[in-house]
């Protein structure tokens, strides 16, 4: 008697660039841990041809993909059905191909849940009642704002270089903030109030070689200062945080936690993250 072949479902991280992505390694670890038969690859999408690349991938029988910079807004437009959190964010980082053609694509956004889980479960800091400052109003911040609100901080301020963009994000989340009893407001980087318990950096200022775009007074003593990036890109922010008495944290935990959420969306199984995060942490630390 011959054993029935195990069906392997393909997934990928779709973006440009993707060569640096740690997602294949994270999802391979989740698959091994949960006994799921998946193969996870990198899908480099031409900047002007994201939709066609995803269509071809779905048509090949793949199960879904993660979506990264700069395609999260395009992925939102492509999904036929959206989770409430993806609709609120206006951005999608996880597509599930319930059908090979677009009419059956489900879009979710797991970035915010990943960030909140990293802060609350991994860093051990409950957000309820805290004062939180989120820097940036691009795709990264849009993806996490709804989940930060749902964690019910007392106050959440969104600060951005272009103040209009912060204001627009605040307006699109105003009803959600009211529902959760959160005082949500926007401000310019130079006008940030002082003394936040938690600072989250969602800007790409360090990639542009600029320093941290706010004054250190935004940090309450012992504040948690988290950069959504990791590796060398996060280093200047983490050094600044330490220098000013804050606890620095990079985006590696968020990366693993958002991946775990995406894995559950695809496979219906929630993987354990602690061992995967510490292995990745050891690798990244050894490189820097």
Q: For ligand ATR, which is the closer residue by CB, 63 or 253?
A: 253
Decide: is 251 part of the binding site for ligand ATR (CB under 6 A): no
Q: Is 231 exposed, middle or buried (0-12, 13-18, 19+ CB in 10 A)?
A: middle
Is the peptide bond preceding residue 70 cis, with omega within 30 degrees of 0? yes
Task: Provide the 3-class DSSP secondary structure of residue 59.
Answer: helix
Footprint of ligand ATR on 42-71 (CB under 6 A)? 69
* Contact region with ligand ATR (CB under 6 A), list: 74-82, 100-108, 196-204, 230-238: 196-204
Decide: is 86 part of the binding site for ligand ATR (CB under 6 A): no
Decide: is 213 part of the binding site for ligand ATR (CB under 6 A): yes
For ligand ATR, the binding residue among 208, 222, 268, 287 (CB under 6 A) is 208
Closest alpha carbon to 185 in 216, 147, 153? 153
Q: For ligand ATR, which is the closer residue by CB, 29 or 157?
A: 157
For ligand ATR, the binding residue among 60, 210, 272, 288 (CB under 6 A) is 210
Closest alpha carbon to 251 in 11, 43, 23? 23
Q: How far apart are CA 39 and CA 81, in angstroms?
A: 25
For ligand ATR, the binding residue among 54, 205, 224, 264 (CB under 6 A) is 205
Distances (CA, A) of 7 to 10, 61, 105, 208, 271: 10, 11, 21, 44, 20
Our answer to whether residue 72 is catalytic in this structure is: yes
Q: For ligand ATR, which is the closer residue by CB, 51 or 69?
A: 69
How do beta strands 94-97 and 64-67 pair? antiparallel
Question: Which chain residues interact with ligand ATR by CB under 6 A?
Answer: 69, 136-140, 160-162, 165, 202-205, 208, 210, 213
User: Which active-site residues does the annotation give?
Assistant: 72
């Amino acid at each position: 008697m011959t054993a029935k072949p195990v069906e392997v479902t393909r997934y990928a991280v779709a973006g440009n660039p993707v060569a640096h992505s740690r997602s294949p390694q994270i999802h391979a670890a989740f698959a091994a841990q949960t006994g799921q038969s998946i193969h996870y690859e990198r899908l480099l999408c031409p900047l002007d041809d994201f939709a066609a690349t995803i269509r071809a991938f779905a048509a090949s029988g793949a199960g879904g993909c993660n979506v990264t910079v700069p395609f999260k807004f395009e992925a939102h437009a492509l999904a036929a059905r959206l989770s409430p959190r993806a609709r609120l964010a206006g951005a999608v980082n996880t597509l599930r191909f319930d059908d090979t053609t677009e009419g059956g694509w489900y879009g979710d956004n797991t970035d915010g849940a990943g960030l909140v889980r990293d802060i609350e479960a991994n860093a051990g800091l409950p957000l309820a009642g805290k004062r939180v400052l989120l820097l940036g109003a691009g795709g990264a911040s849009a993806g996490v704002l709804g989940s930060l609100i749902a964690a019910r901080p007392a106050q959440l301020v969104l600060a951005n270089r272009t103040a209009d963009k912060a204001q627009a994000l605040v307006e699109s989340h105003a009803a959600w903030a009211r529902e959760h009893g959160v005082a949500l407001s926007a401000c310019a980087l130079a006008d940030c109030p002082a003394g936040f318990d938690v600072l989250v950096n969602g800007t790409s200022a360090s990639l542009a070689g600029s320093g941290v775009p706010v004054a250190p007074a935004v940090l309450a003593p012992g504040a948690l200062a988290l950069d959504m990036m990791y590796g060398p890109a996060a280093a200047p922010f983490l050094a600044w945080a330490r220098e000013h008495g804050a606890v620095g944290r990079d985006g590696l935990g968020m990366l693993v936690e958002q991946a775990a959420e995406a894995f559950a969306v695809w496979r219906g199984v929630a993987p354990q993250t602690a061992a995967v995060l510490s292995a990745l942490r050891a690798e990244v630390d050894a490189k820097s």
